[in-house]
Amino acid sequence: MTDESPRPEHGATEQDVQREVTELEGKSATAARIFDLRRIIGGLFVLYGIIVTITGITDSQAAIDKAEGVNINLWTGIGMLILGVFFLAWLKLRPTPPPLPSEDAGDEEPVH
């Protein structure tokens, strides 16, 4: 029974260890792009903006009068939508750069 991914153990070769480090760096970069705060903030603002905008569209005249004649839910929802779209556009136009290749510390011989 063979293991598909080599694990760095005492008998592992330098190539096995380097390959696993490269795979982990790739997974880390993917996770960084997925959990970019601009995506989370933008998505939440768009979601809440939709909800508040719909609430503002369906507000009664009594609710509008209570807010000094301003449909505050509608305007706040539109503002939230604009902010959320801004964050998502920012993410699309300036994506997270890939990580720089790290220098191999194992290639240098230690100085005594």
pLDDT tens-digit readout, 74-104: 999 999 999 999 999 998 888 776 666 665 5
For the record, the structure tokens of 94 come out as 């300036």
Taking the C-alpha atoms of residue 33 and residue 39, their distance in angstroms, rounded to an integer, is: 9
Collapsed DSSP state (helix, strand, coil) of residue 3: coil
Residue 3 forms part of a structural domain: no
pLDDT at residue 9, as a whole number: 54
pLDDT at residue 49, as a whole number: 98
Residue 106 forms part of a structural domain: no
Residue 104 forms part of a structural domain: no
Q: What is the pLDDT along the chain (112 residues), one digit of tens a residue?
A: 555 555 555 567 887 777 777 777 666 666 666 678 889 999 999 999 999 999 999 999 999 999 999 999 999 999 999 999 999 999 888 877 666 666 554 555 555 5
Taking the C-alpha atoms of residue 83 and residue 90, their distance in angstroms, rounded to an integer, is: 11
Taking the C-alpha atoms of residue 93 and residue 14, their distance in angstroms, rounded to an integer, is: 39
Structural domain tally of the chain?
Answer: 1
pTM of the model: 0.60
Residue 84 forms part of a structural domain: yes
pLDDT at residue 27, as a whole number: 66
pLDDT at residue 82, as a whole number: 98
CB-count exposure of residue 86 (10 Å: 0-12, 13-18, 19+)? middle
For the record, the structure tokens of 65 come out as 């009068």
Residue 102 forms part of a structural domain: no
Domain of 70? 18-93
Rg (CA), the chain: 26
Q: What residues have CB less than 8 Å from 47, skipping those under 6 apart?
A: 84
